[in-house]
C-alpha cells in the first residue's frame, strides 16, 4: 500500500477534505433514520452535539468531578499535619474520564458499565503488549497467556453488554424509560428505525468500545498535561483560579453557562492541546488520485498527517512556538497563528473532525475548575519531564504534583 506524509497545513486540509463525510447531508444531522452505514455514527453524533441531550448528560460530569476532588481531599486529610501530599495525576485522570464515559454511556447501569470499561482498559494494555512484538499473521490465535486473557475479556465484555442491553430493553418495554445516556439513545433509535437499520448487540458493543476509547484516553491526557503546565507556570495557575473564583466563587458548582464563559481557561486548554496534542498523528486513505504539494498520489495511498509537528512549526506559530504562552489564543484560534494560518488540529479537521470536542472541553473545564477551587499544586521533585507516545501523548514517568488545600 503506497504511503506518504503531508507536512504543510494547506495540503493537510486537501487530504482531510477527501475523507468520507460522516453524514449523508447536513439535514440528516440530529435525525436517526439514515443509511445503515451511518446510523451508528449519527446516534453518537446526536448524543454529543444535540444541546438538550448533551445538557442532560452534564450532571454526570459534575458527579464524577466531585468524586475526584473529594478523593483528593481525603488523601490530604489522611496525610494529617503534613499539609501536602504527592499525587501522580496521570493515574488519577483515567479514573475520572473513565467514570464520565461510563456514566454518559450507561447511566443507570453504571456498576456493570464500570466493569465493562475496566475490562477494556485491560484489553488496551494487552493490545499494547502485542504491538511491541514483530507482527506474525495468526499470532492472536496462539495459546499464550496474554491471548487467552484477551479472549476471556472479550467474552466477559460481550456477556455484560448483552445483560445491560436486555435489562434496559425490559425497562423500556415496562415503563418506556429510555435514560439520558448513549445506550438509551442507541436502543431508542433501534426501535424507531426500520429493521434493516437496527443495531445488533454486537454493533452496540462496538459502539460502546469506540466511544470509550475515543472519549477517555485523549481527555485524560489533556487533563494531565494541563495540570503539569499549571504547575510549571504558577502565574497561569493563579490567573486561572482567579477567573474560576470570579465566576463560581469558592463553593459554587460550576454550571454549563459559567464554564462556557471561562476565557483564560479556554486559552490554557488550547495551548496545552497545541503543545501536548493527545492524538499526535492521523492517517488518511485517499479515495481518488490526488496532486498534493506537487506530488501525485494514486488512489488508496495512506497519507500521514502529523498534527503534533504542525503544532510545533515556527513558520505557522512564530519563533516562540516551543513556549507555553496561552495568551496567543487571547483573540481566538484564527488569530493565534502567524498571518491567520490554519494550523490547529487537536481534534482533526474536515468531515471527520472529532464529534466529542465540546464534550472534552467542557469536561476538562469542569474538572480543572473544581480542582482550582479547592487546591493549589506545586512542583514535585519526583517529576521528570518526558512526553512519549503510546497511542496518545503520555508523560513517560508519570505526572507527580505536590497537592495542598487552599
Ligand atoms: C481532548 C480530547 C479529545 C481529543 C484530542 C480528540 C481527538 C480526536 C481526533 C484527532 C479524532 C479524529 C478526527 C479525524 O479523523 O479527523 C477524533 C475522533 C473522534 N472522537 Fe475525539 N478527541 C477527544 C475527545 C473525545 C471525546 C470526549 C469523545 C466522546 C465522548 C470523542 C469521540 C470521538 C469520536 C466518536 C470520533 C470519531 C471516530 C470515528 O470517526 O470513527 N472524542 N477525536
Confidence of residue 248 (pLDDT cuts 50, 70, 90): very high
Confidence of residue 329 (pLDDT cuts 50, 70, 90): very high
Residue 356 CB–ligand 1 contact under 6 Å: yes
Confidence of residue 126 (pLDDT cuts 50, 70, 90): confident
The ligand 1 atom at the shortest distance from the C-alpha of residue 278 is: 5
Pairing, β 387-390 against β 295-297:
unpaired
Over residues 321-340, mean pLDDT: 94
Highest-confidence segment of 198-202, 239-243, 354-358:
239-243
Predicted pLDDT of residue 1:
64
The ligand 1 atom at the shortest distance from the C-alpha of residue 307 is: 10
Measured CA to CA in angstroms, residue 337 lies from 266, 279, 332, 399 at distances of: 16, 20, 10, 29
Predicted pLDDT of residue 29:
29
Which position has the grid cell 438509551?
184
CA 90/CA 130 separation, integer angstroms: 23
Residue 306 CB–ligand 1 contact under 6 Å: no
The CA 364 to ligand 1 mean position distance, Å, reads: 14
Q: Which of 135-139, 230-234, 255-259, 280-284 has the lowest mean pLDDT?
A: 135-139
Over residues 312-316, mean pLDDT: 94
Over residues 384-402, mean pLDDT: 91
The CA 131 to ligand 1 mean position distance, Å, reads: 22
355: Cα within 13 Å, side-chain hemisphere: 21
CA 188/CA 184 separation, integer angstroms: 6
Tell whether the model's pLDDT for residue 194 goes beyond 70: no
The H or E element spanning position 340 is none
Residue 114 CB–ligand 1 contact under 6 Å: no
Tell whether the model's pLDDT for residue 47 goes beyond 60: no
Confidence of residue 24 (pLDDT cuts 50, 70, 90): very low
Highest-confidence segment of 292-301, 351-360, 373-382:
373-382
Predicted pLDDT of residue 167:
83
Confidence of residue 316 (pLDDT cuts 50, 70, 90): very high
Q: Which of 4-18, 48-62, 140-154, 237-251 has the lowest mean pLDDT?
A: 4-18
The ligand 1 atom at the shortest distance from the C-alpha of residue 360 is: 27
CA 163/CA 131 separation, integer angstroms: 31
Alpha helices in 108-233 (DSSP H): 110-131, 145-175, 182-192, 201-232
Taken in order of first residue, the domains within the chain and their CATH numbers are 31-279+346-405 (1.10.630.10)
Residue 272 CB–ligand 1 contact under 6 Å: no
Predicted pLDDT of residue 309:
93
Q: What is the mean pLDDT of the chain?
A: 82
Angle 304-306-309 (CA atoms, 0-180°, nearest 5)? Answer: 150
Is the separation of the CB atoms in 165 and 202 below 8 Å? no
Over residues 32-44, mean pLDDT: 41
Q: Which of 116-120, 244-248, 249-253, 393-397 has the lowest mean pLDDT?
A: 116-120
The CA 343 to ligand 1 mean position distance, Å, reads: 18
- Kindly report, residue by residue over 260-305, the tens digit of the pLDDT: 999 999 999 999 999 999 999 888 888 889 888 788 889 888 888 8
CA 37/CA 395 separation, integer angstroms: 37
The CA 176 to ligand 1 mean position distance, Å, reads: 31
Residue 347 CB–ligand 1 contact under 6 Å: yes
Which of the two residues, 391 and 101, has the higher pLDDT score? 101
Confidence of residue 25 (pLDDT cuts 50, 70, 90): very low
Determine the 3-state secondary structure of 172 from DSSP: helix
The CA 112 to ligand 1 mean position distance, Å, reads: 24
Q: Whose CA is nearest to atom 7 of ligand 1?
A: 347
Mutate to test the pocket of ligand 1, among 102, 186, 218 (most ligand atoms within 8 A of CB): 218
Q: Whose CA is nearest to atom 19 of ligand 1?
A: 354
Tell whether the model's pLDDT for residue 39 goes beyond 50: no
Is the separation of the CB atoms in 338 and 316 below 8 Å? yes
User: How buried is residue 227: exposed, middle or buried, by Cβ count under 10 Å (0-12/13-18/19+)?
Assistant: buried
Q: Which of 13-27, 71-85, 367-381 has the lowest mean pLDDT?
A: 13-27
How many beta carbons lie within 10 A of that of residue 166, not counting itself? Answer: 11
Predicted pLDDT of residue 322:
96
Measured CA to CA in angstroms, residue 70 lies from 63, 64, 96 at distances of: 11, 10, 12
Q: Whose CA is nearest to atom 27 of ligand 1?
A: 215
Which of the two residues, 251 and 178, has the higher pLDDT score? 251
**1 CB-near residues (< 8 Å, 6+ apart):** 300, 301, 302
Angle 186-47-287 (CA atoms, 0-180°, nearest 5)? Answer: 85
Predicted pLDDT of residue 258:
96
Amino acid at each position: 500500500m503506497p504511503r506518504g506524509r503531508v507536512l504543510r497545513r494547506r495540503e493537510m486540509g486537501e487530504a482531510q477534505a477527501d475523507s468520507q463525510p460522516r453524514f449523508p447531508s447536513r439535514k440528516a444531522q440530529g435525525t436517526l433514520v439514515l443509511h445503515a452505514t451511518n446510523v451508528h455514527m449519527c446516534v453518537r453524533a446526536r448524543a454529543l452535539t444535540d444541546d438538550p441531550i448533551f445538557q442532560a448528560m452534564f450532571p454526570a460530569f459534575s458527579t464524577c468531578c466531585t468524586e475526584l476532588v473529594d478523593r483528593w481531599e481525603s488523601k490530604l486529610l489522611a496525610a494529617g499535619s503534613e499539609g501536602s501530599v504527592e499525587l501522580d495525576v496521570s493515574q488519577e485522570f483515567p479514573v475520572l474520564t473513565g467514570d464520565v464515559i461510563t456514566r454518559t454511556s450507561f447511566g443507570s447501569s453504571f456498576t456493570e458499565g464500570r466493569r465493562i470499561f475496566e475490562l477494556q482498559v485491560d484489553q488496551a494494555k494487552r493490545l499494547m503488549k502485542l504491538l511491541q512484538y514483530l507482527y506474525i499473521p495468526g499470532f492472536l490465535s496462539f495459546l499464550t497467556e496474554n491471548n487467552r486473557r484477551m479472549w476471556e475479556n472479550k467474552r466477559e465484555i460481550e456477556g455484560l453488554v448483552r445483560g445491560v442491553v436486555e435489562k434496559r430493553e425490559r425497562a423500556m418495554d415496562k415503563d418506556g424509560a429510555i435514560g439520558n445516556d448513549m445506550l438509551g439513545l442507541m436502543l431508542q433509535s433501534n426501535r424507531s428505525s426500520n429493521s434493516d437499520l437496527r443495531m445488533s448487540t454486537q454493533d452496540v458493543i462496538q459502539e460502546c468500545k469506540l466511544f470509550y476509547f475515543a472519549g477517555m484516553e485523549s481527555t485524560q491526557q489533556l487533563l494531565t498535561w494541563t495540570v503539569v503546565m499549571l504547575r510549571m507556570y504558577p502565574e497561569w495557575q493563579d490567573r486561572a483560579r482567579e477567573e474560576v473564583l470570579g465566576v463560581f466563587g469558592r463553593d459554587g458548582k460550576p454550571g454549563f453557562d459559567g464554564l462556557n464563559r471561562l476565557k483564560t481557561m479556554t486559552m490554557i486548554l488550547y495551548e496545552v492541546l497545541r503543545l501536548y496534542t493527545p492524538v499526535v498523528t492521523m492517517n488518511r486513505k485517499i479515495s481518488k488520485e490526488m496532486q498534493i504539494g506537487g506530488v501525485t498520489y494514486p488512489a488508496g495511498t495512506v497519507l500521514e498527517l502529523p498534527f503534533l509537528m504542525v503544532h510545533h512549526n515556527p513558520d505557522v506559530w512564530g519563533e516562540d512556538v516551543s513556549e507555553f504562552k496561552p495568551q496567543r489564543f487571547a483573540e481566538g484560534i484564527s488569530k493565534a497563528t502567524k498571518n491567520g494560518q490554519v494550523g490547529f488540529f487537536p481534534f482533526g479537521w474536515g468531515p471527520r473532525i472529532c464529534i466529542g470536542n465540546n464534550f472534552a472541553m467542557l469536561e476538562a473545564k469542569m474538572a480543572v475548575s473544581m480542582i482550582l477551587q479547592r487546591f493549589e499544586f506545586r512542583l514535585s521533585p519526583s517529576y521528570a519531564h518526558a512526553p512519549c507516545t503510546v497511542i496518545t501523548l503520555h508523560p513517560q514517568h508519570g505526572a507527580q504534583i505536590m497537592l495542598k488545600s487552599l
